[in-house]
Structure 1
Amino acid sequence: MAVHLARLTLLWERAAPVLAWPAAMLALYGVLALGGLVERMGDPWRAVLALGLLALGAAFATPAVRTFRWPERSDAHRRVEADSGLSGRPFEAMEDEPATGESMLWLAHRGRMREALRQARTRRPRAAWATLDTYGARISAAIVLLTAFAYAGDMAGVRLSDAFSPTPLAGGGERAVAEFWIEPPDYTGRPVQFLRERREARVPQGSVLAARITGLARQPRISGGEALIEEIGPGVHQLHITVDEDSAIMVRSGAFRERLDLEVIEDTPPRLALVAEPESDGQGRLILEFSAVDDYGIEHYRLQLARDPGGETNPPDDSWDTIDIPPGAVMPTRGENRYRATVETARHVLAGERVLVRMEGIDGAGQSGVTGPIGLRLPQRLFLDAMARAVAYERRLFLDGLGDYAPYPDTHPRRSADPYWPWLDDEPDLRLERAPESVQRLARALDALGDAPASHFDDRIVFLGLRTAMHQVRRAREIDELGHIEEDLWQIALRAELGTLADAEAALRAAERALSDALARGADEMELAALFEQFEEATRNYIAALMREAMQSDQLASGGGQGMDLNADMLQELLDALREATELGDTEGARRALAQLAELLRNMQIMAGGSGQGQSESALGRALREALEELGEVIGEQRGLTDETYEQSRSGDLAEGREGEEGRALAERQEGLRGRLAELLENMPDGMSEEGERAFDEAARQMDEASRALQRGDGEGALAAQDEALSALREGAAETAERLQAENEANGRGQADRDPLGRDTDGGGVGGDTEVPSEMERQRARDILEELRRRAGDGSLTPEERAYIERLLDRF
């Protein structure tokens, strides 16, 4: 080991004179780089400087190179002997051999040399540079280097990296000009942020730092983030850097240097919570009220649901199914950050079962938040027609038992002779034998449902649909070939239930959903105009189909014609209001008018489809229907009174008018509603269920409490009592509606499905809380739009003012 160390020591002592001048030139280059000279020069001058200093160092080192000699093994031996104070050349003694054999004297001599070598050692190298640098220039070089490091500061590492980097380095840049701006993600809704005189900013997570730099000969260098750089013109470069975390971004090119300190505003996931008991209707819709809070708004909602396992256990994460909710199905409701979503669940395989549901909201960054789970029975559509019920039932069993087909049997006589026989030969029995049990049952059920001549069906399309579906099921080879059967069976059930009205209703629903979604996402005027035309045409077709169904069932002749005429006038007024709001860009007004239209169309379907005014209606059914209609009016007035209480409480008028007219006027109206409810209950037919009586008693008690709270100016207390009263009234109305439905079914009158308010159960729960904008409001919107357009044409506006007005016009 001592020999090896000695050899390395000798190598350093002999190489030091050779390395002295190259090391000096390297230190000089490092000092120049730390001072920023290399960065300013750029290429090719950086390479010229480096090569020049390298050549200069080589020239000064040439004499030392000529005298350099590689250390030999014998040189290492002599160095060890000298450092250890050994004499007698012990290394040679260990390697030599006696000429006449090993005598005792020679062996003793080698033993002494071996003992001496055990004490051998190598001292540290001699001060090779000290003999060369008698004036201490190396100390001065170290001081200069440290000073240069201190001068460069946090740029030291960057400048050294640039100086020794093999990639080309752009120089110049003394006259370069840069423009920086921040482009937040589109989903944030924030405007572009220009960094004119400042170089620091707080930006939303995921923002893009953009820059346009002119006057550079070569592409700039970026540190602190990954940049996309492109040359968009001679000497003009544009760069984009995505900012996901706090960053100090450096942009350099020769003398041009810019540093931007960006602090990221973290985008938190959405926060959702259910704020009311879910509601449902007979058409299989689930109505959820929830609160949703997010930094920049939630872009997409989904309903998650899973079978209720019972107890306190939650389903595993992979067992939750999802239903996408269209944007138009989510409407803001009373209260800050509160919304109401209407979800169609009738077609889901779990419809009618006990499930756990939760709302999921997804923001623009893809982050999601969910509410806590709540248990309920998933709403399903109530089919009154026997054929429709049977088809819907078989569809449900089919979906619940989906599985793969069994493989073809290897023992078939044609299997070995013709490998393509399953695809070339039509053997539906063999295909059905391989099908899962749910498919085989569906084939038998469809065969039984359609086992009658077409003349025995009131609607030939139902007969053809059943027979076609049966043959498709029997001839399918794999389960993938039956992907359309679920939709076909649903349409057959709707056709059997509604007749020709089903197609018109489906078209109207599609047009309404498309228009509502476009309004929710803020589509442009051209798209909205086209969608409105489609909706208007679908509405006309639906009304025509509704009238045909009414005439065929003789409902118009039994007293419903006048109501239909009145509703037609209201329909036209709402269509005009919707058209005008769409043209003006009044999104909120258009959505309110669309919701009111949907409710009016449902009411028209009630009148045309039979509302219990025929001669076959029993006295009890007629009394229940009249009570239910009056109860619906009470609920509507209570809802309106609650809205007015909320507005006055929010504005502070209720508290200020504690001793004045506002509180007393609202209290008197609340007492009037309480008296009307008492009169209604006195005239209600006997036989109300215990749940219904309890609900009405609770409604009366909460209405009394609301009246007392209004008298003392307690807005919050009044609102809480009014909400409870509304909930109890709806519960009581639901019990009354069930009594009416049971009475109608007992008398063969099951066609009048109504919700707790006496309306058709097709309602989505969005109409009663909306108001169509008045003519005054529409005129004011027109005036504002005209004024904005006038100001946009003013040539004296600054660019910032013009951009602001253009943004207002885009939103308006």
Structure 2
Amino acid sequence: MAQNDTDPATILGQIRWPLRLTRLGMTAERGARAFWPLWSVIIGTLAALMLGLQDLVAVEWVWAAGLLVAVLALWALVYGVRRFRLPPEEAALARLDNSLKGHPIQAALDRQAVGATDTASLAVWRAHQQRMRERLASARAVEPDLRVARSDPFALRYVALLALSVAILFGSLMRVQSVTTMGAGGPDLAQGPAWEGWMEPPAYTALPSVYLNDITAPGLDVPEGAQITLRMYGEVGALSVTEDVSNTGGASEETAQEFEVVRSGELAIDGQGGRVWQVAMIPDQAPAVARDGEIETTYEGESSIPFTATDDHGVVAGLARFTLALDEVDRRYGREIEPEAHPDLEVPLPMPVAGDRSDFSEMLVENYSLHPWANLPVRLELEVEDDRGQRALSQVEVLDLPGRNFFDPVASALVEQRQALLWNRQNARDVAQIMRTILHRPDALFRDEAQAETLRGILASLEQAVPEGLTDQQQADLAQALWDLALELEEGDLEDARERMERAQERLQEAMRNGASDAEIAELMQELREATDDYMRQLAREQQREREQNGDTAQGDPQNMMEMSQNDLQRMMDRIQELMKQGRMAEAQEALEQLRQMMENMQVTEGQGGQGQSPGEQAMEGLSETLREQQGLSDEAFRDLQEQFNPGQQGQQGQQGQGQQQGQGQGQGQPGQGQQPGQGQGQSGNGQSLDESLAERQRALRDELSRQRRNLPGQGTEEGDEAAEALGRAEEAMDGAEKALRDGDLPGAISEQSEAMEALREGMRSLGEAMAQQQQGGEGQQGMAEGGNPGERRDPLGRNAGTSGQTGTDEGLLQGEDVYRRARELLDEIRRRTGDAERPTAELEYLERLLERF
């Protein structure tokens, strides 16, 4: 072997870089153990500066902390220098050799001690050294052990690292430089103590906050009501604030100041480093509200009052205030004496459910027929309010408080006496005398003796209470009884409706002959339209009852019958009104006479099919009944949800809301065919909770629908399959509603019930189309109306009036009411409730989902 193979320099040359890196790692180990206090102090100090702690305390505390940090840093430096020693090369060589198997470095540097003259021994030694030198090629630097747990048993270094992590997340390196202004010779020495300021606009403006330190321009635009916050650091009194933009303006040296901007002016921070702004306040404009458009009143007395409202940031609430215009009231008869004191009638204005409230138009829909001032002159004033609390009033308008009009003479007289009794209870004797006059010959005024007996009972109660004076409760009860009787008389039998229609026609003819104004003609035409609609409803009901009692009878020769649609009738009335406006009174009177004759000869027509109902008609009738019962269950679930969030609030509506609710409770909440006795509100007869009772009824209704779906006619046709598929979806939705009711999830149950009703309606439409196709081409099936189907019943205007299976009947839902009017009433009621911010969040969210759906 050559001599240089055993030379230490040659051997160490093979491991030069692993040895250097190992020695460098050992140096880092010793440095970490020696200087961990120093870098812990440095890191902790940097974290405090990045968090800006120096800006939160007085400068004296900053100097004291700086001195303490300097002392700790000096001690840590001395501690590290005394403990730190550079590692020798022999130690690095030993660590590297220990990391290799068999210690090849030491073996390569060793020399043979014995047997150097023995050839065999020498060969073995050289082979051993050769293997060791080969192992040197696999030498790698030893990783340093930087753990200093033994030197830092309290883990103070981790506290410093945690503080630095927090500073990186929530602090800024920019804050470190602020400490330079606190020492002598700093770049900001001439600026004095630091300060900070913020301008926070009102939340409803949706404007961002402004950091005043970044505003170097002399002008500053600030919305009215903005909050300005100022913080002064350093020596107290070194900086002061002078402002005249708030109600407490002036000069102040307080280190923390907050004030509200209420006017334009100047804001100045006086002292070294101060700043001055000319504040231009952006005023918050007051809202505005005005009546807009014509007031519409329905036959039942429900009025729609349109209005518009504006505000720069949005209107939050509104109110309609009705005050009796006493100087405009006709003070004759029962109103000669002074009226009793009644509070102003105040009704919340509906607000948009979603969208911009800065400029909108809405409709106030209410029924004031039951109010003592109904149809009397009142002063209407609208009031709105914005987020800042500013209020605005509309121009006062004198109008007649909308209410229901009565065409029947006796009903009109009773309503007049009711109003006299509500005007002042001192009118009780006069009211009783007039009621006795009405009862003098009851057979001439009342067609039903029961109505006369009802009036006698009211009269007896009134005369009994007169001597001692009417109490508030007696006055309210008598007024309600008179209203109910008047309503019964007004909505009486067919003869009453015919008389009202004829009377309206006569008044219109009289107006034509006397040359009435356009306004009077429009009012009389509206009266005629309402009376005609009422007559058509009564005519359909009367002839329906006759058919049920007397069986199906022929109505005459179908070739001599003519069917009119409702649009045809409306166009005829519009033509009469147009002719009167144009002054062509002769033509208008002739058209009115034709209308009168047509209405006199009007009758309900019925198809000439076989006796009884067809399977399709029976199926439609069953589905209609199922739909009615599902609607009733949904109404009960909704009332239970309301009671859950507003206990005791149902039925406690104000007097002005009573008229609006009139007639809306018919058919709601009635027990279905599957309902067991005792399953009403509260607890069911077997002790079940209301939700469990509703769930049982929902299950029974689902089973009934399943039975109806199995027996559905028209199977095999496209329309029949569509009907079966829709009813299948309805059954699934009912199952989901049942599960939700059992779990107490009322909003979920109502949503499922809504889907079930929609699927039921779709199934009925498809079934009607299937039936219509099956009946095309049938012999002997022609009815009195063109294209009539067997068993199809139509009213004089061509509308479906019975369970005929015709597409779009849905007659079970509304019992003959005007579909569009009822839908509008429900939608307006949902909007009114949604605008009530005091309702629970869950109910408001449910109502908003209803508005989005419908």
The structure that has the greater radius of gyration is 2
Same fold flag (TM > 0.5):
no
TM-score between both structures, scaled by the size of structure 1 = 0.31
TM-score, length basis structure 2: 0.30
